[in-house]
């Protein structure tokens, strides 16, 4: 009898031990199953990227590019410079056209350049219109060359920047001991001084880009037309714009160096 009772107790102990192990094992099993499910879901959403295949594809593309261009590994590629043939601008026209296609009053727009002993450049009103009086300064002698800008290409560049150009006049002043001048007649829909200064800065920048490497433009003049009437004359030296572009002077300093004249209606 005693042995039978001990056997029953042993069986009971083993059964209880199995249940406790099963109870302790079930949470771990559930966690493992959940992780496996999430891993399958993540793989189903986006397959892992094979970077080795990507590297092979990039190397293949590089080999094909080198075979087509003839370049070697490590060779520095420099873009070809767009060369523009030098076109000598024509002499200034006597008159410019308004936005409506009519000739403007020559007494108002004809620019007469005279040489004086003064060092300051100013715009003065004379009996026959407004005259630009230019002074002489002791500066390095420039090459006696005409303006080397293609006026048609310059006009296109200005219009691409939404500047309504109605005429471009050039003066090869260096040939006569003066300064080379580019004068741009353009229409403005606003009479705001700040807006006109900014637009004139664009004009100087575009002219500088066309004259880069040639150094054939000394002075830029903007002739502002508002409602078919001359409104303002802006004149600036190219060297002042270069100082601004090189950050040697501020924007307000560049404006202070301009010669500005509002014309009477």
H or E element at residue 127: none
- pLDDT tens digit sequence for 27-55: 566 667 776 766 655 555 455 555 566 66
Domains of the chain: which residue ranges? 143-262
pTM above 0.75, yes or no: no
Residue among 215, 206, 241 nearest 86 (CA) = 215
- How far are the Cα atoms of 63, 71, 75, 213, 242 from residue 78, in angstroms, in the given order? 19, 12, 10, 19, 26
**What order do you get walking across the sheet with 122-126 strand by strand?**
113-116, 129-135, 122-126
**Which residues on adjacent β-strands are paired with residue 243?**
none
Whether 223 has a pLDDT exceeding 60, the answer reads yes
- pLDDT tens digit sequence for 95-145: 444 444 444 443 333 332 323 333 344 444 443 344 444 444 445 567 889
Residue 123 has a pLDDT of: 43
- Give 78-81's long-range contacts (Cβ < 8 A, gap of 24+): none
DSSP strand E in the chain: where? 113-116, 122-126, 129-135, 164-172, 180-187, 219-226, 229-237, 259-262
Residue 137 has a pLDDT of: 45
Residue 82 has a pLDDT of: 47
119 class by beta-carbon count within 10 Å (0-12 exposed, 13-18 middle, 19+ buried): exposed
Q: Which residue has the higher pLDDT, 146 or 69?
A: 146
- pLDDT tens digit sequence for 189-211: 888 899 999 999 999 999 999 99
Q: What is the mean pLDDT of the chain?
A: 71
Residue 38 has a pLDDT of: 60
What Rg do the C-alpha atoms of the chain give, in angstroms?
40
- pLDDT tens digit sequence for 51-68: 566 667 777 777 777 777
Residue 41 has a pLDDT of: 54
Band of the pLDDT at 183, cuts 50, 70, 90? very high
């Amino acid at each position: 009898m005693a042995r039978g009772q001990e056997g029953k107790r042993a069986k009971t102990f083993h059964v209880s031990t199995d249940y406790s192990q099963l109870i302790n094992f079930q949470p771990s099993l559930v966690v493992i199953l959940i992780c496996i499910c999430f891993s399958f879901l993540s793989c189903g959403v986006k397959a892992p990227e094979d970077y080795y295949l990507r590297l092979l594809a990039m190397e293949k593309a590089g080999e094909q590019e080198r075979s087509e261009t003839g370049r070697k590994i490590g060779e520095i590629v420099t873009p070809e410079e767009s060369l523009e043939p030098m076109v000598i601008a024509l002499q200034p026209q006597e008159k410019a056209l308004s936005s409506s296609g009519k000739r403007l009053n020559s007494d108002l727009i004809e620019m007469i350049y005279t040489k004086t002993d003064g060092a300051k450049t100013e715009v003065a009103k004379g009996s026959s219109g407004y005259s630009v009086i230019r002074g002489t300064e002791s500066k390095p002698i420039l090459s006696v060359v005409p303006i080397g800008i293609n006026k048609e290409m310059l006009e296109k560049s200005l219009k691409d920047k939404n500047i309504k150009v109605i005429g471009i006049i050039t003066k090869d002043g260096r040939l006569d001991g003066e300064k080379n001048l580019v004068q741009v007649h353009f229409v403005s829909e606003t009479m705001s001084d700040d807006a006109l200064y900014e637009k004139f800065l664009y004009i100087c920048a575009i002219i500088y880009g066309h004259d880069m490497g040639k150094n054939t433009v000394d002075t830029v003049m903007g002739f502002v037309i508002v409602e078919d009437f001359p409104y303002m004359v802006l004149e600036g030296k190219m060297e002042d714009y270069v100082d601004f572009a090189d950050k040697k002077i501020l924007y307000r300093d560049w404006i202070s160096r301009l010669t500005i004249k509002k014309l009477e209606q």
